[in-house]
A and B are shown apart, each in its own frame.
Chain A
């Protein structure tokens, strides 16, 4: 498996000496070419899960591995194989777009950098912005730079946290194509998003989380069947509301 998450648990210290369990005994795996959607309500633990997989947070318990390389025991090998694209585009204020890409290329030993960079800048509509500093770019543009940094190398596992935030309609369209293309090329892709129609459209499998736990895992058809919504032309949105127990009508005041 390209990505395996086994009994992952992550807790935080909360107020008043309490412990907040953000991710609770989560297990799932994904193979090459799979595009897995990670969805859940706010506070479900999606971002914490992605950060644990990316090696940013150390799991309180359990393990995650990329291509068999443990993120804690064999961190460098695992990190070489994954690309994490966070929801907030944190870039170095004083490095240009091109310098960011070059920096990543150096760190990950990308050989044909110029060709790749040019292609990526075209693909993400960043051509002409190579010499710009992050402060001169819009939020959407900065998001694209973060994604370009993730894609400039051949990562076997791609982690996207809300990849469409701040993008314009053309950007959203292109980003969907980019993600699908990477999946078709054999990468294992994990996408966390609240845009359920996009997740439904591009993902081959869905993992639904709530309160830190996995509550459903499967294709849209499988999830629909399990939640008694099969055959009704169910959308992922209906399935999601049903599975998370939030499908009751809300009383208006």
Chain B
């Protein structure tokens, strides 16, 4: 079965690449690829050559720079990720079989374990690409061989993380199991994670409390000390083992470090296979291995929730898409699994506001600000419940009597509104706690900043969504139909798209920002109150709204000409 899996993975990769190369015969894709290659060359390759000319240094880069500090912070970070994985409202797709795999391999005379190993094998090429891309593109003086080793180290780490998350998904799904063996298999790893979290977390909180008073080298020294001593060292050993090959400074030390990392990977795979066997033997529903093949489906079947919103039979066509995308997202989310995160968030905000701790209030305020920034700037790239997500339904959409501009506007309405409301909520939390985090800033300035941010955020979000919709209609074949990286081309495309979004954002938001800024400065001279910036932010929002409207109108003819044969489909 291993050979068969390898055969499927390699043939699929080869044919996918051939198909993508064939697509380059279309001028728009060819020009896009050329621009992408130029972007990669100027952003990644050229700076690397410049560093190389300035003088090569033997050994792995970063070995000295990060050293033990990198190892300490990296291992603690990985451990935190491992703990957070239990409460993340997401599920692993590692063992989600495609329709072809379900129809062809499940009836074949192969064991269940072989089927799981097959999925592991199939995921490796993607992970290898994901590991090699940063290893080879990051600008430093490392040789090609050193980069290869660094890529291999990253690969082992990525593979371990992926398998671990699949195991967590599997265990989480069986926490409510009625069989004792399944309960043990589900609860023991969670118990171990909680215990490990407590062992590392307790001294870590003490270190965090030092942040306002201690210097940065002191903090590093304390974290190093924390990770190297006592029980913490034992708990963090697997995480250190995974990080260490990335930070060694010679080939010999890499050879010595990769062994323990592979051991951790093997142990993780063994755990997942064992857990699956236990769950299978207990007779519980095998939710993971027989996960449906639909690209966006979840491991758990979607359910119709009470209180579903009925669509009115009249109104603007854009609202149909708003309703559709909203219902789809609400039903696709596992709200139960989000509950711990919600409780944690509410507790943090309420606790901080109630004066439990000034440090907590500061931390929550800064975290809310950072999350608001991330939701505004990175959200539109990640929340793809818009035309990008609907490209697989494009045949149906194209039969509807709705103009292209209305489709595009409607498709981005829900995700844009969702991110806007999320950002507003986070900004409100930050404003509420801002007196603790920014005690030197006057209340009127803090309130004015909140008002400006709340108006600028939707401008940035909808401008980005417009750019993403434009990319979807111009390059439908380049839009990934799921969130998985699909080889070099996809990764390069994402980088290009990211650069394109940044440039286009400057172009789209620029006029509004300049007009709003100038108006703000002029008004401030007259009124000398920070609140004058709020209407100026509204002016910026208005200008961007007009631009977005005009852009969607301009995209309509392109939407009508979408070439469906350019949209990659199938397995």
Give A residues with C-beta under 8 Å from B: 12-13, 15, 17, 51, 54-58, 75-77, 79-80, 82, 84, 86, 90, 92-96, 99, 102-103, 105-111, 113, 131, 133, 135-136
Measured CA separation A87–B313 after assembly (Å): 27
Q: Are B399 and A79 in contact (CB under 8 A)?
A: yes
Residues of A contacting B303 in the complex (Cβ-Cβ under 8 angstroms):
133
Once A and B bind, how many residue pairs between them come within 8 Å at the CB atom? 95
Contact (Cβ within 8 A) A79 B328: no
Instruction: Tell me whether A133 and B304 are in contact (CB under 8 A).
Output: yes
Scan residues 15-36 of chain B and give those whose CB is less than 8 A from a CB of chain A: 22, 25-26
The 8 A CB mask of B236-276 against A (1 = contact, 0 = none) is 00000000000000000000000000000000000000000
Residue of A nearest to B303 (CB): A133
* Contact sample, A vs B, 11 pairs, CB 8 Å cutoff: A51-B395, A56-B399, A57-B564, A58-B561, A76-B403, A79-B401, A93-B328, A94-B302, A94-B328, A102-B310, A103-B320
**Which residue of chain B has the shortest Cβ distance to A84 in the bound complex?**
B399
Contact between B320 and A90, CB atoms less than 8 A apart: no
A169 to chain B, nearest CB (A): 25
Given A92-B328, A94-B302, A94-B332, check contact A55 B399 (CB 8 Å): yes
List of B residues within 8 angstroms of A56 by Cβ: 395, 398-399, 564
Stretch of B38-46, B289-297, B516-524 that contacts chain A:
B289-297
| Structural contact, B399 and A95, CB atoms closer than 8 A | no
Partner among A17, A80, A94 whose Cβ is within 8 Å of the Cβ of B401 = A80
The answer to whether A99 touches B327, judged by C-beta atoms less than 8 angstroms apart, is: yes
Q: How far does the alpha carbon of A136 sit from the alpha carbon of B301 in the complex, in Å?
A: 9
**Range, interface on chain B:** 35 or more
Q: Can you name 8 extra interface pairs (CB under 8 A) apart from A13-B26, A79-B400, A107-B401?
A: A17-B25, A51-B395, A92-B324, A102-B311, A102-B313, A103-B323, A107-B400, A133-B302
User: B317 near A107 (CB under 8 angstroms)?
Assistant: yes
Complex Cα distance, B320 from A102, in Å, reads 10
- With A95-B324, A95-B328: A90-B317 Cβ-Cβ less than 8 Å: no
Is there an interface contact between A106 and B401, defined as CB atoms closer than 8 Å?
no
Contact of B393 among A51, A80, A92, A133 (CB under 8 A): A92
Q: Is the CB of A93 within 8 A of B297?
A: yes
Q: Are A135 and B304 in contact (CB under 8 A)?
A: no
Distance between Cα atoms of A58 and B22 in the complex (Å): 21
> In this assembly, does B107 line the interface, its C-beta being within 8 Å of a C-beta of chain A?
no
> Which residue of chain A has the shortest Cβ distance to B309 in the bound complex?
A99
Nearest-neighbor residue (CB-CB) of B404 within chain A:
A75
- Chain A, residue nearest B294 (CB): A93
- Does B144 interact with chain A (Cβ within 8 Å)? no
When the two chains form the complex, which single residue of A17, A55, A93 contacts B302, counting CB atoms closer than 8 Å? A93
Across the interface, which residues of B come within 8 angstroms of A99, CB to CB?
A: 308, 311, 327
- What residues of chain A lie closer than 8 Å to B314, measured between beta carbons? 106, 109
Nearest-neighbour CB distance to chain A for B107, whole angstroms, equals: 18
Find out whether the CB atom of B320 lies under 8 angstroms from the CB atom of A106.
yes
C-alpha gap A108/B26 in the complex (Å): 35
Q: In the complex, which residues of chain A have a beta carbon less than 8 angstroms from the beta carbon of B296? A: 93
Contact of A107 among B26, B294, B308, B320 (CB under 8 A): B320
Contact of B304 (CB < 8 Å), options: A58, A84, A131: A131
Q: B393 to A106, Cβ gap below 8 A?
A: no
The residue of chain A having its C-beta at the shortest distance from the C-beta of B397 within the complex is: A56
- Alpha-carbon distance between A186 and B15 when the two chains are bound, in angstroms: 48
Taking the nearest CB of chain A, how far is it from the CB of B234, in angstroms?
Answer: 45
Q: From residue A244, how far is it (CB to closest CB) to chain B in Å?
A: 27
Q: Does B104 contact A (CB under 8 A)?
A: no
Instruction: Write out the residue numbers on chain A whose beta carbons fall within 8 Å of the beta carbon of B114.
Output: none
Q: A94 to B22, Cβ gap below 8 A?
A: no
Q: Which residue of B lies closest to A13 (CB)?
A: B25
| Chain A min CB distance to B261 (Å) | 39
- B411 shortest CB reach to chain A, Å: 13
Q: Decide if B494 is an interface residue (CB 8 Å cutoff).
A: no
* Complex A-B, nearest 3 residue pairs according to Cβ-Cβ distance, in ascending order: A94-B331, A94-B328, A79-B401
Does the CB pair A135–B560 fall under 8 Å?
Answer: no
Q: Does B312 contact A (CB under 8 A)?
A: yes
Nearest-CB residue, chain B, relative to A95:
B327
Are A113 and B313 in contact (CB-based, < 8 A)? Answer: yes
Q: Is B214 an interface residue (CB 8 A)?
A: no
Confirm or deny: B315 has a beta carbon within 8 angstroms of a beta carbon on chain A: yes
Distance in angstroms between the alpha carbons of A84 and B397 in the assembled complex: 11
> Would you call B50 an interface residue if the criterion is a C-beta within 8 Å of the partner chain's C-beta atoms?
no
Q: What CA separation (Å) do A202 and B304 show in the bound complex?
A: 39
A103 & B399 in contact (Cβ 8 Å cutoff): no
Query: Which residues from chain B contact A12 at a C-beta distance below 8 Å?
Result: 565
B401 close to A108 (CB less than 8 A): yes
Minimum distance in angstroms from A237 CB to a CB of chain B: 31
- List A contacts of B311 (CB < 8 A): 99, 102-103, 106
Chain B nearest CB from A69 CB (Å) reads: 11
B402 at the interface (CB under 8 A from A): yes
The complex places the Cα of A74 from the Cα of B320 at a distance, in Å, of 22
> Shortest CB–CB separation between residue A13 and chain B, in angstroms?
7
Chain B nearest CB from A111 CB (Å) reads 8
**Which residues 276-299 in B have Cβ within 8 Å of A in the complex?**
292, 294, 296-297
Chain B positions 365-407 with a Cβ under 8 Å from a chain A Cβ:
392-393, 395-396, 398-403
Known: A56-B395, A56-B399, A76-B401. A106 touches B327 (CB 8 A): no
| Chain B residues within 8 Å of A75, by CB | 560
Measured between beta carbons, the chain A residues less than 8 angstroms from B396 are: 90
Distance in angstroms between the alpha carbons of A217 and B443 in the assembled complex: 81
> In the complex, A55 Cα to B404 Cα: how many Å?
13
Please name all residues of chain A whose beta carbon is closer than 8 Å to the beta carbon of B301 when the two chains form the complex: 135-136
Residues of A within 8 A of B330 (CB): 94
Per the 8 Å Cβ criterion, residues 324-376 of B in contact with A are 324, 327-332
Taking the nearest CB of chain B, how far is it from the CB of A63, in angstroms? 15
- Chain A residues whose C-beta falls within 8 Å of the C-beta of B561 in the assembled complex: 58
Which among B315, B395, B401 has the highest number of chain A CB atoms within 10 Å? B401
Q: Once the chains are docked, how many angstroms separate the CA of A76 from the CA of B401?
A: 5
Please, which residues of chain A bring their CB within 8 A of the CB of B320?
103, 106-107
- Nearest Cβ distance between residue A193 and chain B, in whole angstroms? 19
| B304–A54 touching, CB < 8 Å | no
In the bound assembly, the distance between CA atoms of A13 and B297 in angstroms comes to 32
Contacts of B317 in A (CB 8 A): 107
Using known A-B contacts A56-B564, A99-B327, A113-B313, determine if residue A135 contacts B401 with beta carbons closer than 8 Å: no
Q: Which residues of B contact A82 (CB under 8 A)?
A: 399
Known: A90-B393, A106-B315. Is A15-B22 also a contact (CB below 8 A)?
yes
**In the assembled complex, which residues on chain A have CB atoms less than 8 Å from the CB atom of B323?**
103
Q: Which residues of chain B have C-beta atoms less than 8 A from A105's C-beta?
A: 313
Are B399 and A54 interface neighbours, CB within 8 A? yes
Complex CA gap A113/B314 in Å reads 11
Of A94, A107, A136, which is within 8 A of B327 by CB?
A94
| Docked complex Cα distance between A92 and B332 (Å) | 11
Which single residue of chain B is at the shortest CB-CB distance from A12?
A: B565
Min CB gap A64→B, angstroms: 13
Known: A92-B324, A93-B296, A108-B401. A135 touches B395 (CB 8 A): no
Residues in A with CB closer than 8 Å to B401 are 76-77, 79-80, 107-108
Knowing A57-B564, A93-B328, A94-B332, the reply to whether A110 touches B398 (Cβ < 8 A) is no
Q: Which of B26, B296, B313, B560 has the most CB of A within 10 A?
A: B313
**Is B395 within 8 A of A90, CB to CB?**
yes
Q: Are A106 and B313 also in contact (CB < 8 A) when A56-B399, A84-B399, A133-B302 are?
A: yes
Bound state CA distance, A95 and B537, in angstroms?
38
